[in-house]
Copies of this chain bind each other. A is one copy, B any other.
Amino acid sequence: MSRVLNHSPHVREATRQRVTEVIRRLQYRPSRLAARLSRGSPGTVMLLVPFLTRPSVVARLAGALSVLDEQGFDAILGNVEAPDQLERHLHALTARHGAEGAVIISLQLGERHLAELRSAGVPLVMVDAQAPGVPCTVVDDIRGGTLAAEHLLDLGHRRIAFVGDEPNPDLGFRSTRRRLLGYRRALAARGICQNPALIRLGAHSSTAAAALTRQLLRLPDPPTAIFAASDTQALGVLAGAEQAGLRVPDDLSVIGYDDIESAAQLGLSTVRQPLRASGASGAHRLCAVIRGERVRPMRQELPLGVVARSTTRALTDPVRSLTDPVRAGPARTAPPGD
């Protein structure tokens, strides 16, 4: 009878009919659990994400979910906002038959965790994070930072501030640090002396970013452009600028990072990274690992690009830095919509 359920070819049509009929009459519902146990594969993978509510995380998650779905895996979701949650979920992973593998998203695991997972032999794949020996899908955040800074530099800006979030001590996000590094390199490459006062770190929230922005704008020599470490923070920067009475992009250029949905909606200039695709790719790669295949580039790097929308514009008031009458810059890309 198991044969008819699993569409085995070695069953006569007559019997199939008969069995199906009985199944229907008995209201028989097979137990997935039992099937999975005896088959030895739980058909389940874990998706581990930090701060589920962040749009960039959700986009990645959605990407991963869609391919797992179509590959027939159940996706159990683990959200970690505190170290103990990480601990718990990771522990659940190491239990045999808990999940067949895991996609770890935007979570930098510590040595201890990695060792545990390795010794438990859990198929693993990382997205927006890396670890030795684990297939990962990333972007070059340093380059991303450079791209953002260069975009602003190309528009004539010189006093370019950076607003980011402090590295989380427990769940070590390091992308902000790398983006900052890229920004620094770009400035250095153009021979611009870096003013430490223009670099502000706070909590990863747009209200924190707004506060930092107000601080920046109160500086005796305020920035003409701000690079925010994420779009979420860039939205805060926008709010901060408005609160300070500045107009974007007229008085201040702002560029974010990620290209989340609302960035497009609000016309935020940003550094785009393929969020959804990163999740999808991670999931695909995990499936490969589970099947025992060898994933090709251990470290897969996705492309990055500046999307100039309407929050960045060429520096219009050279008085601030040099001379010249007011002349509206060319920037201001087409707004979204239509």
Contacts and interface: CB of A to CB of B under 8 A. Distances in A.
Interface of A: 27, 29-34, 36-37, 42, 44, 47, 52-53, 55, 58-59, 61-62, 65-66, 69, 74-79, 85, 88, 92, 94-98, 119-120, 206-207, 210-211, 214, 232, 235-236, 238-240, 242-243, 261-262, 264-267, 335-338
Given A44-B76, A52-B65, A77-B47, A337 B95 contact: no
Main secondary structure of the interface of A (DSSP, over half): helix
A98 B31 CA distance: 7
Nearest to A29: B96
A79 B97 contact: no
B242 A262 contact: no
Given A75-B76, A76-B75, A337-B214, A266 B235 contact: yes
A95 B239 contact: no
Given A61-B52, A242-B335, A243-B337, A32 B77 contact: no
Contacts of A97: 31-34
A95 to B, nearest CB: 5
Contact of A239 (B34, B65, B94, B337): B337
29 contacts: A27-B119, A29-B94, A29-B95, A30-B96, A31-B37, A31-B96, A32-B92, A32-B95, A33-B33, A33-B42, A44-B76, A52-B61, A53-B59, A53-B62, A58-B58, A65-B79, A69-B85, A76-B77, A206-B262, A206-B265, A210-B337, A211-B337, A211-B338, A232-B265, A235-B265, A236-B337, A238-B266, A242-B267, A262-B262
A29 B207 CA distance: 45
Contacts of A85: 69
Nearest to A42: B33
B29 A120 contact: yes
A336 to B, nearest CB: 6
Nearest to A210: B337
Given A55-B55, A97-B34, A267-B239, A207 B77 contact: no
Contacts of A95: 29-32
Nearest to A265: B206
A119 B235 CA distance: 48
A242 B309 CA distance: 14
**Taking each of A69, A88, A238, which has the highest tally of chain B beta carbons within 10 Å of its own beta carbon?**
A69
Contacts of A32: 42, 92, 95-98
A32 B99 CA distance: 9
A117 to B, nearest CB: 12
Contact of A336 (B42, B47, B77, B239): B239
Contacts of A36: 33
Nearest to A46: B74
A92 B338 CA distance: 39
A16 B65 CA distance: 41
Nearest to A85: B69
Nearest to A41: B33
B62 A79 contact: yes
A96 to B, nearest CB: 4
B337 A207 contact: yes
B79 A66 contact: yes
